[in-house]
Amino acid sequence: MQRSYSKKAFPWDNACIESFHAIIKREWLNRFKILDYNHAYRLIFEYLETFYNTTRIHSHCNYMSPDNFEKLFTKMQNEKLQIAG
């Protein structure tokens, strides 16, 4: 893996994070008047822990939430270990 440092006129270097910022603004932050840094931090933490990772489906996780995908992955790994051992 090689680090990528964005330069002017290379927007695809930041495409993933830019997409995430658009999603979090559209789905969550635009609903609130953010008072200060701590308020913003709490809102983002709440969004990530109560919706984005637990409920919202992701195409790269076979249209499951990341939590469900991780649970399924762990279950499959444990089953493989039991079969092998």
Query: Residues near 64 by Cβ (< 8 Å), separated by ≥ 6?
Result: 57, 58, 72
Q: Is the pLDDT of residue 63 over 80?
A: yes
Distance CA 80, CA 84 (A): 6
> What is the pLDDT at residue 80?
86
Exposed, middle or buried, 8 (CB in 10 Å: 0-12/13-18/19+)? exposed
Q: Is the pLDDT of residue 21 over 70?
A: yes
> What is the pLDDT at residue 52?
85
Q: At what angle do helices 37-47 and 15-27 cross, to 10 degrees?
A: 100
Put simply, whether the predicted model's pTM sits higher than 0.85 gets the answer: no
Question: pLDDT tens digits, residue range 30-40?
Answer: 999 999 999 99
